[in-house]
Copies of this chain bind each other. A is one copy, B any other.
Amino acid sequence: MPRTGRRPGPGGTREKILAAARSRFGQEGYDGTTIRGIAAGAGVDPALVPHYFGSKEGVFLAAVEFPVDPAEFVPRLLAPGIDGLGERLVIFFLETWDSPSGASLLGLIRSVVSSELAADLMREFVTREVLGRLAEAIKLDHPQLRAGLVATQLVGLAMLRYVIKVESLSSASRGELARWIGPTIQHYLTDPAVTASRRSTARRRR
């Protein structure tokens, strides 16, 4: 990528990187996008991307306005141990949706449902940065499957409470929902019975 003599002003560089990142992530997916590629698209030195955003994950979070950082929240929720993790996850998830950031989560769900490209992108990001971290931390069998089952329950909760707005769920408090749904999450994360059928019966790998 040829460099021009003019460098973007300090205020414009960040925006140029974000615009290039949106374009690259949209075309190449999460896994296929590199910091170098984003920098080339923005016409800036590759060192500026980590300077502004820390990492590829950081650029992504800013580009799609993802309101929370898995590198921060996954270790924090896990810090007190596995006990009660299900309820803590539900409370954290609902607090994020109920905060001003909830609007950007709703926007993300809309993109994912209306565009296969957005769904691919979000799947790669969530698989690697959210489910992957969670899976690694719980150190149990079939971590990706356990993390995927957790995701079904949380995404469904968001759909019914914030998108479809079924009264019995939209009127419940976060504490009530954590008591009802937390044990399901805990079960998916930790119960040996969940994955027993993968060990004893015909397996499918792919």
| A interface residues (Cβ-Cβ under 8 A, vs B) | 109-110, 112-114, 119, 122-123, 126-127, 131, 142, 144-145, 147-149, 151-157, 159-161, 163-169, 171-173, 176, 179-181, 183-184, 186-188, 194-195, 197-198, 201, 204-206
Contacts and interface: CB of A to CB of B under 8 A. Distances in A.
18 contacts: A109-B113, A113-B114, A126-B166, A145-B168, A145-B169, A148-B160, A148-B167, A149-B180, A149-B181, A151-B156, A156-B156, A156-B159, A167-B206, A176-B204, A179-B197, A179-B204, A183-B204, A183-B206
A164 B147 CA distance: 14
B164 A123 contact: yes
A22 B151 CA distance: 34
Nearest to A149: B180
Contacts of A119: 163-165
Which of A149, A169, A195 has the most C-beta atoms of chain B within 10 angstroms of its own C-beta?
A149
Which of A112, A127, A165, A197 has the most C-beta atoms of chain B within 10 angstroms of its own C-beta?
A197
B165 A123 contact: yes
A204 B171 CA distance: 7
A170 B164 CA distance: 24
Contact of A151 (B144, B155, B160, B186): B160
Contacts of A109: 113
Contacts of A154: 156
Contacts of A164: 112, 119, 122-123, 126, 155
